[in-house]
Amino acid sequence: MIQNPILHGFNPDASIIRTGDDYYIATSTFEWYPGVLIYHSQDLIHWQPVARPLDRPDLLDLKGIPSSGGVWAPSLSYDNGLYYLCYTNVVGRRGVFKDLHNYVVTAPAIEGPWSEPIHLNSSGFDHFLFHDTDGRKWLFNMQWDFRKNHNRFSGIIMQEFDLKQRKLVGPIKQVTQGTALGVTEGPMVYQKNGYYYLLVAEGGTGINHAATLLRSRTIDGPYEVDPEYPFMTSAELPNYPLQKAGHGSLVETQHGEWYMAHISSRPLQDGSRLSPLGRETSLQRVIWTEDDWLRLADGGRLPSLSVEPPKLAPYPFPAEPEREDFNTEQLSIHWNSLRIPVEKSWLSLSERPGYLRLYGQESLYSWHRQSLLARRLQSLECEISICVEFEPESFTQMAGLVLFYDETDHFYLRISHDEHHGKHAAVIMNQGGIYDESEDIAVINGWVRCYLKAVICQEKIQFYYSPDGERWNVIGPELYSGVLADEYMNKLSFTGAFAGVCVQDLQGTNRHADFDYFEYRIFEKDLI
């Protein structure tokens, strides 16, 4: 069976396609670099990350963009030997405005190389490129309206895209204003049985999220709404294990079976409805009715926890190693940096072979140049441990293990130096933008190597330190993992929790730390 979610941890806005026997899913990455993460499967059960397309500044410049800005809702498509990747870069989201720019790039293979970006428009996000059977191409996106007394989500618009001219051409037309659910976004377009189908996300990306289908005999409408909309949502059952179900995309198998990839989230078990793992990707089997509407194969509107797989041979991938020893010249595909690409100016795997060397830059509050490397948390039953060598000379120099949502919400077990304790370890806590320091100080003068660990058990987080990686000592208070969730203190954010290593040097001398390994061990792979 397909067990949901299929992509654990922060993997929202899945755009799924098939080319031959290969299935690909592209997911949003927001302020994390490289931009867009693409997964591969041949059986819809097993998935493996294979590509990070937006890996250079000419494709994606994230410096200075706000948290939960950056890459929103990429969409994949394929036509005439080329993969097309549409993506948005949201550079401002303050107040009523959305400053954003929409691009498309192409590649002959999913691994690249990807072309120079073509700027499409800046009118709204969630754009999707549809390749019609007559050879014409149409761009769909939601329209953002900042004006007073206007609906911010003012409908789905379309315009023709001319690949030869590398630009949009012709009139802009609104094809729907959505339904009473509101917040209509995420348009995906498909063609079947003489209809053009428009699949949209509605209700917002939170607990009222939903997927709605519309259809038309012509590409530009008018589009009629499914009389039984929405055809998927978990809003009706707040205690269901998969929440926030919506923002879907469709794929047809080689044997004519249909599936929908979609957003979902797994809340904490404490009743808070907070989801530190962020919005994940699930997969539903769907069927077409006699009157040509789409329904969940298991009936009803709720996304299923397990789904009947397609008639395809199993295609498993090797298990991922729990420990990264930094013994190769390249980082694993699971690693992400914040807003800036990995560069020799702040990261090296060769200066001290077998170690990851990071040169300290700006603070964890910075939107510009951070020396931070992190991976998604994929389970709330796990432990993360590192070994670090660092010799700070001032309280302005820090290095260690971080559990990070964004600059306002993170926990940091860091090594530093001050005039009272000398070299020491302590926990920094940022909750709702309020900075605090634990009074529990571990003096580690004379320690060349220091081992740091975080243990996460659902809503509880505890940090530890050790001189040898065997004798562990508790440090700092028990912390609440809900701080690392989108909805903590009702903020409007869209990513998920990361675990990583980082270095800061606020004196500007770029003092470095060496990390011997990073181990991420999951206790329980399926929390449902």
Query: Do the domain assignments include residue 315?
Result: no
Helix (H) or strand (E) holding 87: strand 82-92
Q: Do residues 185 and 165 touch, judged by C-beta distance below 8 A?
A: no
pLDDT (tens digit, 9 = 90+) per residue, 323-373?
A: 999 999 999 999 999 999 999 999 999 999 999 999 999 999 999 999 999
Query: How many C-beta atoms surround the C-beta of residue 133 within 10 A?
Result: 6
Neighbours of 478 (CB within 10 A): 11
Enumerate the β-bridge partners of residue 522.
382
Confidence of residue 528 (pLDDT cuts 50, 70, 90): very low
The catalytically annotated residue of 31, 185, 406, 459 is 185
Q: What is the mean pLDDT of residues 168-175?
A: 98
Would 369 be classed as within a structural domain?
yes
Look at residue 503 and tell me if it is in a domain. Answer: yes
Is 526 a residue whose pLDDT tops 60?
A: no
pLDDT band at 525 (very low <50, low <70, confident <90, very high): low
Give the count of beta carbons closer than 10 Å to the beta carbon of residue 99: 15
CATH code, domain with 215: 2.115.10.20
For CA atoms 277, 459, 408, 388, the dihedral sign is: negative
Closest among 39, 129, 51, 24 to 87, alpha carbons compared: 129
Q: For 420-477, write each residue's pLDDT tens digit.
A: 999 999 999 999 999 999 999 999 999 999 999 999 999 999 999 999 999 999 999 9
In a domain, 91, yes or no: yes
| Final residue in a domain of this structure, among 307, 339, 372 | 307
| Residue 86 located in a structural domain | yes
| C-alpha to C-alpha distance for 301 and 221, rounded to whole angstroms | 26
Taking CA atoms, 443 is separated from 466, 499, 511, in Å, by: 12, 24, 20
Q: 357 lies in a domain?
A: yes
Where residue 502 sits, what CATH number does that domain have? 2.60.120.200
In this structure, the answer to whether residues 300 and 332 fall within a common structural domain is: no
In this structure, are 250 and 171 located in the same domain? yes
Structural domains of the chain, count: 2
Query: Could you tell me which residues are beta bridge partners of residue 315?
Result: none
What value does the mean pLDDT take over residues 141-160?
97
**pLDDT tens sequence across 244-272:** 999 999 999 999 999 999 999 999 999 99
Confirm whether 528 is domain-assigned: no
pTM value is: 0.97
Sign of CA dihedral 258, 319, 404, 239: positive
Domain of 53, in residue numbers: 2-307
CB of 111 within 8 A of CB of 123? Answer: no
* Whether residue 74 is found in the same domain as residue 163: yes
Radius of gyration of the chain (CA): 23
**Single-letter code of the amino acid located at 38:** I
Give per-residue pLDDT as tens, 83-95. 999 999 999 998 9
Instruction: Respond yes or no: is residue 13 known to be catalytic.
Output: yes
pLDDT digits (tens, 9 = 90+) for 394-415: 999 999 999 999 999 999 999 9
Burial of 274-306, coded b for 16+ CB within 10 Å and e otherwise, reads: bbbbbbbbbbbbbeeeeeebbbbebeebbbbbe
Q: Do 267 and 328 lie in a common domain?
A: no
If asked whether residues 516 and 369 sit together in one domain, one would say: yes
DSSP letters, 379-392, are -SEEEEEEEEE---
Q: Are residues 293 and 369 in the same domain?
A: no
pLDDT for the residue numbered 125: 97
Cα-flanking dihedrals φ and ψ of residue 489, to 5°?
Answer: 55, 30
Residues 448 and 370 in one domain: yes
The answer on pLDDT for 524 being more than 80 is no
- Measure the CA–CA gap between 283 and 140, rounded to whole angstroms: 23
Note whether 178 and 60 are same-domain residues: yes
Q: Residue 502's pLDDT band (boundaries 50, 70, 90)?
A: very high
Q: Which residue among 13, 160, 202, 486 is the active-site one?
A: 13
d(CA 284, CA 265) in angstroms, rounded, equals 14
